[in-house]
Amino acid sequence: MLLQLSSDQEFFRETTDKFLTDQVPVEVLRRLRDEAAGYDADYWRRGAELGWTSLLVTEKHGGGNISGNGILDLTIVAHEFGAHAAPGPLIATNVVAAALAETDSHPDVIAGLLDGSTVATWCIDEPGRRPLDVDVEIRVDGDDLVINGVKRPVEAAEQASHLLVTGRTDDGLTQVLVPAETAGVTVTAMRSVDLTRRFGAVSFSDVRVPRAAAVGEVGQASAQVQRQFHLVLALVNAESVGAMQTAFDMTVEWGFDRYSFGRPLVSYQALKHRFADMKSWLEAGHAITDEAAEELGTGDDRAAMLLSAGKAFIGDYGGELIQDCVQLHGGLGVTFEHDVHLYLRRQTVNRALYGTPSQHRQRLADLGQQRDEAAANKVDA
Amino acid sequence: MSDDNVEDVEAFRQRAREWIRANLRRADGPGQTLRGKDEQQDLAEVAREREVQRMLFDAGFAGICVPKDYAGQGLTPAHQRAFNDELVGYEYPARLQVPPMTPCMAVLLEFGTEEQKQRHVPAILKGEEIWMQLLSEPSGGSDVAGALTSAVREGDEWLLNGSKIWTSGAWWADWGLVLARTNWDVPKHRGLSVFILPLNAPGVTVHRIEMLNGNREFCQEFLSDVRVPDSDRIGDVDDGWTVGVRWLFHERMQHNSPYVTRPTGATREGEKGSILKVVRDAGRIDDPVARELAGEALEIGLVTEALNHRVARGIMTGTMSDQAAAVGRLLMCVSLSRQSTIAFEIAGAAGGAWADDDGEAAERGTDFLMRQTPSIGGGTTEMARNVIAERVLGMPREQALDRNVPFREVPRGSARQ
């Protein structure tokens, strides 16, 4: 969460916070566990009216941001989503909206995403592969593009009417927007620990779409895919930190209220020191998330490393933090009745998606090496 | 800064960049280490740093955030950060930053009389006076307010007796800031006063301490009937803890202090070299395990740096209390410790026995032995955790048996003194 919000940003944050508090309190989240979509269509439309899907879309396409840095503005919403463990395809729709607006394609779909009537999602991850390691094939066949392969997990796969698919065309990457009902597309529901977030496996079997369905140039999408990936990381990090914040606040309050041996839990130095560690991880999570989003929004080339550092750190230490919150609650912490698991679920799923902490540490080494080599070349030159 | 005449940060950055490139030497390889060095070489380095400080002063880049009244530049922390960014890869007066600029100069600026500030601050900015803190005592590290060094008034003078320890560079520094006990009949925090003194004053004996890695920068001072004029007292008599609290705050600010000139990111990269160089020099650049460990070192380095930015900004803008500095400090210490372990692990057998041509893989074993240093010096991580729990999160204070008791009645262990 940003240290200082402008008054416009604070108004925006507060509006989303109030809406989520009102619409999706914890009782509703528990109920949504049994709903197929995990969220209500009307809830999503009303959220879109608050601006949830318009921040990364240029004004030309009907969107607009608050501060001039739409990514930073959107992390405010993502943070609230984490803090409330809120339902809805926030990340999926925003990534697609940004990609379509940036490439000036499919304006009708953008309009639907903006008003919340349409849900779209990004099919990027593939089974058993590292993030951005793409094996799905998009072949050019005359005026058509033909897609073959499997993507999983795909967020909101069954809810989305449009799928943004990233595939390989010879040596390059291609992105294409595929209507979900296209022949050859099969969506199979997957299971997840998140109560309200749904995932599916999407298989493409000779799926044929006109070349006009391409998002950007065929075989030239590599930089765009990187940008989308970075955007997802910025949002996932912000959301997980929101979840960490709520779990931490709840546990601090519990520590003051709960007495053992005639003393509150927070009077024991052994526990105070753990709270201190948790506080340092929490603030660090905020710090790395905000710095990365700020730099990503302004196009700074440090952003890639900051995002991976954040994804790895928040994945590991966010998990430790919320698990410690569970521990400090004792047996209650592992019951369905207690709320702490709602936030643990959100952080846990986010940790596993879009690259695990270990994969992002490896990516950091790659990026660090590239940076060192670039710096060495600069000195030589 | 409401002054309309303040130089634009980007214009300042440009000016700084040009000056730095034209006047400073490139930093060669890894910077100062904690390893033992030749005494003459140490003194030569100190002399060069004084010279660089004087160059900064003459060019209008010393004391960027110090008011113009005291020969500073009267600019903002954003200007200091811009200067620090531009300084990456160049020499700088490393020994003259922490503790000389903060906490020492910061305390002078905050509590010194007009006369004291006029006399010392410009001299510090010119590199003529290097200040160190005489704070910790052999009787107890973390319990700073339990100081046993005594100051007894004799007319217009004070007579100081006792011993201070962990003073960096006291053997080549010029002045010291001293916390001493002036009243034994009141509770410990209410009987302290702060003094300043030249380190070559009669009665001051400086003893160099050898650390386990051979480094001899830390000193212990023995004060024996050292005479200090009352005009060299900082703050009110017996009210030294008011100064002390801010002193410790300025110390915790370390490299986040707006008074510190230092290449951005120096903690992470400059002083130890990139962790990836260790991987390469250990011959493990294609080893995925070593690469992932290096990635972790980069991860926590970047996160720690971001946290320090956030905390510094939070304290500066008042959205966080001063005590929040402990949050940044805790994570930094834990991270440095982990980074040291990672470098040692990556070095493999070279961590245990190395040759001179092992490059960055050499000496990792020595660094590992010294691993806990950052977590001890400047207040232990245990104290930082107490501060965070009690002062930041508002949890109950630890029971203390020295509160509301005249200091002379406070129990002392046999190991004290």
pLDDT tens digits along B302-318: 999 999 999 989 998 99
Specify the pLDDT at position B30. 46
A264 CB neighbours in chain B (<8 A) are 396
Q: What is residue B413's predicted lDDT score, i.e. its pLDDT?
A: 76
Taking residues A340-345, what's their average pLDDT? 98
pLDDT in tens, A6-48: 999 999 999 999 999 999 999 999 999 999 999 999 999 999 9
Asked if pLDDT for residue B38 goes beyond 90, the answer is: no
Check CB contact of A308 with chain B, cutoff 8 Å.
yes
Domain A7-118 and domain A222-380 have a common topology: no
Chain A, chain B: beta-carbon pairs less than 8 Å apart: 138
- pLDDT higher than 80, residue B36: no
Is the pLDDT at B403 greater than 90? The verdict is: no
Query: Over 60: is that where the pLDDT of B270 sits?
Result: no
Task: Note the pLDDT of residue B37.
Answer: 63
Tell whether the model's pLDDT for residue B272 goes beyond 70: no
Mean pLDDT confidence for A106-130: 96
| Mean pLDDT value of segment B17-25 | 97
Domain positions in chain A: 7-118, 121-213, 222-380
Q: CA-CA distance, B97 to B225, in Å (whole number)? A: 30
- Give the pLDDT of residue B415: 55
**pLDDT digits over A288-338, tens only?**
999 999 999 888 789 999 999 999 999 999 999 999 999 999 999 999 999
The CATH superfamily of A7-118 is Acyl-CoA dehydrogenase/oxidase, N-terminal domain (1.10.540.10)
Which helix (H) or strand (E) covers residue A185, if one does?
strand A185-189
Q: Rounded to whole angstroms, how far apart are CA atoms B234 and B240?
A: 8
In the predicted model, is pLDDT for residue B271 greater than 50? no
Tell me the CA distances in angstroms from A283 to A80, A276, A278, A279, A317, one per residue in order: 16, 11, 9, 6, 11
Give B174's pLDDT tier (boundaries 50, 70, 90). Answer: very high
- Dist CA B50 CA A179 (whole Å): 70
**Interchain proximity B299–A361, CB inside 8 Å:** yes
Q: Give the integer Cα–Cα distance in Å for B275 and B268.
A: 9
pLDDT at A218 over 50: yes
On chain B, the residues whose CB falls within 8 A of the CB of A365 are 276, 279, 291-292, 294-295, 298
B65 pLDDT tier (thresholds 50, 70, 90): very high
The answer, for A312 touching chain B at a CB cutoff of 8 Å, is yes
Query: Would you say residue B6 has pLDDT above 90?
Result: no
Whether A310 contacts chain B with CB within 8 A: yes
Q: Tokens 């009141």 belong to which residue?
A: B186
B298 to A365: CB separation less than 8 angstroms, yes or no: yes
Q: Best residue in A273, A283, A320 to probe B by mutation, most B CBs within 10 Å?
A: A283
The arrangement of secondary structure in B132-248, i.e. its CATH architecture, is Beta Barrel (2.40)
Structure tokens at B368: 């590992």
With cut-offs at 50, 70 and 90, classify the pLDDT of residue B416: very low
Of chain B, the percentage scoring pLDDT greater than 90 comes to: 83
What CATH number is given for B9-96+121-128 in this structure? Answer: 1.10.540
Token pair of A261, please?
């041996």
Lowest average pLDDT, out of A141-150, B118-127, B408-417, goes to B408-417
Domain-wise residue ranges, chain B = 9-96+121-128, 132-248, 265-392
In eight-state DSSP terms, residue B205 is E
Rounded mean pLDDT, B110-119: 98
Predicted confidence at residue B14, as pLDDT, reads 97
Q: Please tell me the predicted confidence (pLDDT) of residue B33.
A: 47
Q: Check CB contact of A368 with chain B, cutoff 8 Å.
A: yes
Architecture of the CATH domain A222-380 = Up-down Bundle (1.20)
Residue of B nearest to A302 (CA): B302
- Indicate the CATH number of A121-213 among 3.40.50.720, 2.60.40.10, 2.40.110.10, 3.40.50.740: 2.40.110.10
* Best residue of B90, B285, B292, B302 to probe chain A, by most A CBs closer than 10 Å: B302
Average pLDDT, chain B: 92
DSSP per-residue codes, A62-104:
T---SSS-HHHHHHHHHHHHHHHT--S-HHHHHHHHHHHHHTT
Q: In the prediction, which pLDDT does B273 show? A: 57
Q: pLDDT at position B31, please?
A: 44
CB contacts, 8 Å: B312 with chain A: none
Task: Report the residue of chain B nearest A365, measured CA to CA.
Answer: B295
* Residue A309 to residue B327, Cβ atoms within 8 A: no
Which pLDDT score is estimated for B28?
Answer: 65
Taking residues B249-253, what's their average pLDDT? 86
Q: Are A118 and A177 in contact, with CB atoms under 8 Å apart? A: no
Residue of A266, A267, A309 lying closest to B298 (CB–CB):
A309
Q: According to DSSP H, which parts of B60-185 are helical?
A: 77-86, 106-111, 114-125
With CB atoms and an 8 Å threshold, state whether A272 touches B330: no
State residue B266's pLDDT score: 62
pLDDT at B268: 42
B279 to B135, B268, B276: CA distances (angstroms)? 40, 16, 5
Q: Is the pLDDT of residue B103 over 70?
A: yes
**Is the bond preceding B406 in cis, omega lying within 30 degrees of 0?**
no
pLDDT in tens, B123-132: 999 999 999 9
User: Superfamily for B265-392?
Assistant: Butyryl-CoA Dehydrogenase, subunit A, domain 3 (1.20.140.10)
Per-residue pLDDT at A301:
82
Residues of chain A numbered 183-222 and touching chain B (CB < 8 Å): none
Q: Which residues of chain A neighbour B310 with C-beta distances below 8 Å? A: 3, 283, 286-287, 290-291
Question: How close does chain B come to A59, measured CA to CA in Å?
Answer: 30
Q: Quick check: A360 and A315 in contact, CB under 8 A? A: yes
What is the CA angle B39-B40-B41, rounded to 5? 90
From residue A104, alpha-carbon distances to A74, A114, A119, A167, A215 in Å are: 21, 15, 18, 20, 8
For all residues of chain A together, what is the average pLDDT? 96
B396 touches chain A (CB under 8 A): yes
DSSP state of B417: -
For residue A379, what pLDDT band results from cuts at 50, 70 and 90?
A: low
B-chain CB neighbours of A361 within 8 Å are 292-293, 295-296, 298-299
